Structure formats: structure tokens, C-alpha cells
Structure 1
């Protein structure tokens, strides 16, 4: 068998699917590595991972209090809104930015340990879910101080969070492959995500735009996909009515994203070890 024949055989959807399923099957490995990442980051620290919660909580309280005053919004409504927005944003933001560097950062393991590429992505997403779990404690505390009116339908945040995790996997896989081949993509994504933070309703909401007479911007911002990802988790946790359009957009983007990722995995998965 020639090198060309071997390369063509590796470029199949079956191989790409096998990478995903085999990688997921090695849960003990990526669950352990993800947890070790958290422990290593805060090694020799007295408070350890609690610093994650303190940092996020401080920012949430500061921004929530500041913008509720600037926009004349009730603190009891705006503080939980901003807190959840930041917590969900941190999950999405890290999956994009760290996902772009996921294979470069694991160069040693990729070259020395014969594991599916998806293992490194599952490790990344698992680590971010752990961080999300730390940060959601902030919202629980705020919800105790400012009680929310919840309904049974608000349990929809559970499948919504699972849907975001599924999206985080394809985002890290797709951007990870592209950024490994083209290193300029990583700083480009950093700039783009920074811009998206300001045009995503995290520290402001639609009511804020209308008060400022910028209703047209509210319609334009509908084209920001991250708005829909944030809302499907935040709305039920706030006890707010859920809008089907957000779910439709997220589900459509999930299908499109995994379709693109499947082709990227099929075509370039075998080349990643050489590119890193």
C-alpha cells in the first residue's frame, strides 16, 4: 500500500466518527486530565478553585451594580441577568479561544500518546463544565438574595446546557483543526470574540437599547448567534418566558456546525499531528 492509498483511506467519515466515539469511550482519561488541569492551575493556592468563583462573582456584582445604576434598572432583576450572562459567556468564550489552541497546547501528548484527537477536545469541554459548575454557585447565592419565580418548564435549562456542551465540542474541533494549520486564526478569533462580547446582551438587554432609542440595533443584534446560545440557558434560570426562535437558531447552527466539522475531521484529522 502506498502512502497516497493510506492517506486516502484515512479520509473517510467512518474514521472521523470512530475518532469521536473512541475518544468519548476513553472517559476515564479525559475526565481525569480535565480535573488535573483545574488542580494544576491552582496548585499551592490556599483557596484553590474557589478563586474562580471569587473572580467571576466580583466582576458580576461590579458590572451588575454599575449598569443597573447607569440604565436605571432594578438591581434585583439586572444583577441575576448579568451574573448568568457572564457565567454562560465564560463557557462559550473559553471553548472558542482555548479550542483554537487545543491541539497546539497538547502537542506533546499528540506526538507521544496515540489517542484520538477528540480526547483533547473532550478534556477541554469537561474542564470548562467544571469551571461553569464553580461559577454557577454565584448565581445560586444571588437567587437566594433576590428570589426568582420558577416554573417546571424552566428545567429546560438542563437540555439547553447539554446542547451548548455539544456545540462546544464541534467548535473546539473545527477551530482547533483550522488554527493548527493556520496560526493566524487564533489571534483573529480573540479579536472577534472580544467584539462579540459587547454586541451580545450580557451586561445590557433589549430594554436598555429601547430606553436609549436604539431599537434598530436590537434587530441587527438578532444576527449575533451567541445571543441565542446565551438566552436558551439564561431565560429558564431567570424564570423568564422562553422564545422558540432561540432554540430553532441554536439547533440549526448545531447541525450546520457538526456538518462542517465532520468534513474537517474527514479531510484533515490525520494531518493534525504533523501540523502541531
Structure 2
């Protein structure tokens, strides 16, 4: 028998490996989730895109006027920020209930638990894919052209997704045991949104506190690695180093926690 310290991560690796090997399960479930939500709608999932487009237009006009920022600069900024913040916040919120929502499957079907985490992330990635269609339309509307930096958004999205997965895995286990954690996270994310440059630009902060507030905010670094390339800017080295460090530390904690309590999740549901 393996020592306890090595047995827990080994069990976590086995579950995650099995889920990745059977990735088609998560993909199928996620497409069904999106299709079922809009089964009888003619527009379908594009209602989410329409709603996001209206929100971007309204907030872009209001906050652009309040901050006295040229619409050619502010509208693409708030477009990218809202789209990716929606992906981050919804993934985390739904990650809290990933195991709880799949209670029937977990209790009746033998399946890797990590499949339900992947299912949640894939579902939100599908919605993100629909919403990102607004981005080129906004650029066209304000007369801007993307730069070659846009290709850096791809590795940025990969490192963002890797970080979201360990956050969702930890929260999925904790919220299966402590159901009040779901409400706590929803309220916490509301506060974090206002502390993160989503609806305001970093340069609007006072000189003295701007860098400190941004550097200490992990969500700023996570959103920056995809936001800045799409806005024609090169992401800072600090943000990339921070995101990689978050992934290493976060997955270390997640693997131990998941390996330690994986067998208890069905009993908590």
C-alpha cells in the first residue's frame, strides 16, 4: 500500500486521468446542457450573445461617458472585459455546484468525478465561443483593427482555463460538504468584480494605489492574459508569472484535497 501522503495525489491523478481519457463524456454533456436550455427557442444560445451585446453597448455608453474615455478605446475594452469576466465568474459559480447538480449521475453511474468539472468548464467555454463573436463586430463599429498580439490570447486562455479548473475542483468538493459556501462565493465574486478592472480602466486609478491594488488582485492577472492581447497590448511578464504560479500552487492543493475527500463526495450529496 502507498503511504498516505502519496496515495491521495495518486487517487486524484487516477480520477483526472480517467476523465481526460473519456473527455467525450464531458463534451457531450456540455453540449446537451446548452441545447436543452434553449430547446424551443428559435434564436437558441444566441440569446446569450444578444443579451451580452446589449449589456456591452449600454455599459460602454454609460461608463465611457462617466470616465470621459473615447468610445473607440473604451467600447472594445469593456466588450472583452465583460465577456471574459462572465466566463470566469460563471465557471466559478457553477463549479461550486458541479457535484451537487450531478447528484443523480454520481449516485447511480460509475464515472470519474472530474468529468463534472470538465463538463461545467466546457459548457461555459461554448457560451464564451458564442459571446466572443461580439468582439470583431465592436472593432468594426469603432474602426479598429486587431494586431498580431491577438494570437497571444490563445495561450492566455489555456492558462486561464487551467487556473479555473483547480478553483472549480476545490470549490466543488468544499461546496458538496458545506452548501453555504456557494452563496459566500457568489457574494464574494460580486465584490471582486468591482475591485477588478472590468468596468473601469487601470489608468483611472490614483497613482499611489493603482499598482498595489492591481498586483495584489489575482483576478486582474488572470483576465489580463486574455484581455490585453485582444486589445492590441502585450501582457505584462508579471501577469504571466503570477498565472503560472497560481496554477502550480493551486493544482498542488487541489490534487491533495481531491484525493483526500474524493470518496466522501457521494456521501455528502
TM-score where L is the length of structure 2: 0.94
Give 2:124's aligned residue: 128
Q: Quote the offset at 1:146 in angstroms.
A: 2.5
- What is the DSSP-based 3-state SS (H/G/I as helix, E as strand, rest coil) of the residue aligned with 1:114? coil
Structure 1 runs (4+) greater than 4 angstroms displaced: 8-11
Indicate which of 37, 58, 67 corresponds to 1:71: 67
Indicate which of 44, 49, 52 corresponds to 1:56: 52
Give 2:268's aligned residue: 275
Separation of aligned partners in 2, 1:196 and 1:9 = 34
1:164 is the counterpart of 2:157: no
1:206 is the counterpart of 2:190: no
1:240 is the counterpart of 2:233: yes
Q: Which runs of 5+ in 1 are unaligned?
A: none
Indicate which of 181, 192, 196 corresponds to 2:192: 196
1:160–1:196 CA distance, 2 compared to 1 (3 A):
same
Residues 101-140 of structure 1, C-alpha deviations (whole Å, 9 max, x = no match)? 1100110000011100011011111001101100000111
Give 1:265's aligned residue: 258
Separation of aligned partners in 2, 1:10 and 1:186 = 30
- What is the DSSP-based 3-state SS (H/G/I as helix, E as strand, rest coil) of the residue aligned with 1:203? coil
| Mapping of residues 4-153 of structure 1, within 5 Å | 11-153=7-149
Separation of aligned partners in 2, 1:125 and 1:54 = 21
Q: Is the 8 A contact 2:96 2:175 kept in 1?
A: yes
Alignment: residue pair count: 268
Separation of aligned partners in 1, 2:147 and 2:6 = 49
- What is the DSSP-based 3-state SS (H/G/I as helix, E as strand, rest coil) of the residue aligned with 1:115? coil
Separation of aligned partners in 2, 1:83 and 1:151 = 17
Residues 66-102 of structure 1, C-alpha deviations (whole Å, 9 max, x = no match)? 1111111010110110010011101110121110111
1:259–1:49 CA distance, 2 compared to 1 (3 A):
same
Q: Quote the offset at 1:151 in angstroms.
A: 3.8
Separation of aligned partners in 2, 1:176 and 1:10 = 22
Separation of aligned partners in 2, 1:110 and 1:148 = 48
1:9–1:223 CA distance, 2 compared to 1 (3 A):
closer
Separation of aligned partners in 1, 2:246 and 2:219 = 11
Q: Which runs of 5+ in 2 are unaligned?
A: none
Q: Which moved more, 1:160-169 or 1:76-85?
A: 160-169
